[in-house]
Structure 1
């Protein structure tokens, strides 16, 4: 039988804060593309260059209690890490070249439905009644907000291509969330996050070396360090550990639903920092998303 989770305050808070911090990523990326000459891969490599020392340090500090994983589990962990923070991130950064930060976050947050469906059909995990209601409210809100974004930006060059890239990103990120829910109990949240992020960092750097000279990352970092620092720490290191801690306490389904605050946070930040327009449908959608999150966060799940 799959493990059943209840919503603890700590798990809810970790996931909520981590999701808001993750939502700053799109804002920082859009600002970087607008302010400096840099391609998506270089910006992604810069992000991981600043994040790498923190993951290495955490892994060193937690080395005493290493769990014994089979070769199969190690392969799964590496693949999950590559999907979550290399493949997904690269597709996401490329997509942000063509669509607004608000729309990027809305498309990306189709992933909770993929998480729930994967858990239900692959792992036979029951979808509880309050999860269904929360999903209905949050996705109704996201759908309304998407309609407003579509009316505003669908004539922009590359709009549909950017949307497709982010859509694929949402699928690969859903696989990461499901995989993390299965692997974290074996390694612990902190070590899992470190291993997954190190796997992704290796993939990103190898990709970077195929397209650029190795020395170019140093010159990029020296010139644009502020973007790397913000992306690496605020939008990567802190939220990745917060989300992993939340997943350990409340399960991947609940993390996926609570994380729906991300589009709301991004839309508001995009309006404030980037001057993106807020449509009336986005405001109505925001109310529905928050209502769904509150239903999940304030009502304890009962065993069924």
Structure 2
């Protein structure tokens, strides 16, 4: 069949299947983050800001290189000084503040519970949309919110007196606060991200966030934050930088470009399942029936919110 010049170009199905695979691989890589962090905490005397500083420092060259390459191969962004400042503040919020709170929460709770709690950030995005942009929550989304928070209660309750948690309430507080801050990052950066593209935006945001992260580490620990830990700490930090941060960041961005953000968000919801399985196998965390059921309800509610949001 001969297509006319005006006929829309139909991409092969393999193009979309490859996009779906990219999203799934990215979700798996992101799911490994909590496992690696808990491994370091259990074996070595490293705190949250030291580990986060090493991760950001190791990932910085990749983001600087990619930002330079994108600036040469894609159209300029033409942002004014105020917009560049806003982009930097948004990046610091999402990749310094939110990440630090997340690392801090993992000091107190298991990786599997952390991932379930953190995954409710779409409900925070929905709430911020109501507060900031005066959007209305649709009746069906109320049901999704109820489902999500019922799931959190089921996943959280059995862990209150669990020996696996150091301080379940404090850890949950830090992780939920991390999710809220990350939601602020997503809502705040939405418009600039749409103008620049997700890859370029992420590069600049990560570069901006690296500065206060490293300064925080230096203020708290001095130069020993980079020089005084056992070799495995630097090795795991490097793995987190490359395979849990840089690689999945760009893989997810390309996957979203191929299959769309709505489909990508639904596929990426398998992330907590990956974390739970890995936590059970690698860290020997015990997962009971109620936490499994709660996880299922959280995922169902989050997918519902994303699906209804796209339909509207």
Range into which the TM-score falls when normalised by the shorter chain = 0.7 to 0.9
Alpha carbons of structure 1 residues 133 and 61: separation in structure 2 relative to 1, 3 Å:
farther
| 1:57 to partner: Cα distance | 1.2
| 1:12 to partner: Cα distance | 6.2
- Does the 8 Å contact 1:21/1:234 carry over to 2? yes
SS in 2 for 1:284: helix
* Residues in 1 aligned to 2:162 and 2:263: alpha-carbon distance in whole angstroms: 32
* Residues in 2 aligned to 1:62 and 1:157: alpha-carbon distance in whole angstroms: 44
Query: In terms of mean alpha carbon deviation, does 16-25 or 97-106 score higher?
Result: 16-25
* Residues in 2 aligned to 1:246 and 1:151: alpha-carbon distance in whole angstroms: 40
What residue in structure 2 maps to residue 237 of structure 1?
A: 246
Candidates 166, 179, 187, aligned match of 2:188: 179
Report whether the alignment pairs 1:265 with 2:292: no
| 1:95 to partner: Cα distance | 1.5
* Residues in 1 aligned to 2:192 and 2:49: alpha-carbon distance in whole angstroms: 28
- Does the 8 Å contact 1:46/1:220 carry over to 2? no
What residue in structure 2 maps to residue 32 of structure 1?
A: 40
Report whether the alignment pairs 1:54 with 2:58: no
* Residues in 1 aligned to 2:25 and 2:87: alpha-carbon distance in whole angstroms: 25
What residue in structure 1 maps to residue 177 of structure 2?
A: 168
SS in 2 for 1:277: coil
Give the gaps of 5 or more residues in structure 2. Answer: 1-15
SS in 1 for 2:278: helix
Report whether the alignment pairs 1:122 with 2:132: yes
| 1:181 to partner: Cα distance | 2.4
Q: Alpha-carbon deviations, 1:170-213, whole Å to 9, x = none?
A: 11111112223222112111110000101111111111121223
Report whether the alignment pairs 1:77 with 2:80: no
What residue in structure 1 maps to residue 221 of structure 2?
A: 212
What residue in structure 2 maps to residue 197 of structure 1?
A: 206
Report whether the alignment pairs 1:19 with 2:27: yes
| 1:144 to partner: Cα distance | 2.4
With normalisation by structure 1, the TM-score equals 0.82
Alpha carbons of structure 1 residues 259 and 118: separation in structure 2 relative to 1, 3 Å:
farther
| 1:27 to partner: Cα distance | 0.7
- Does the 8 Å contact 2:120/2:298 carry over to 1? no
In the alignment of these two chains, the number of paired residues is 294
- Does the 8 Å contact 1:131/1:254 carry over to 2? no
Alpha carbons of structure 1 residues 54 and 40: separation in structure 2 relative to 1, 3 Å:
same
Report whether the alignment pairs 1:100 with 2:110: yes
Aligned-pair Cα RMSD in Å: 3.3
- Does the 8 Å contact 2:56/2:241 carry over to 1? yes
Q: Alpha-carbon deviations, 1:102-141, whole Å to 9, x = none?
A: 2212222231111011123312446567766655555444
* Residues in 1 aligned to 2:263 and 2:183: alpha-carbon distance in whole angstroms: 13
Alpha carbons of structure 1 residues 95 and 294: separation in structure 2 relative to 1, 3 Å:
closer
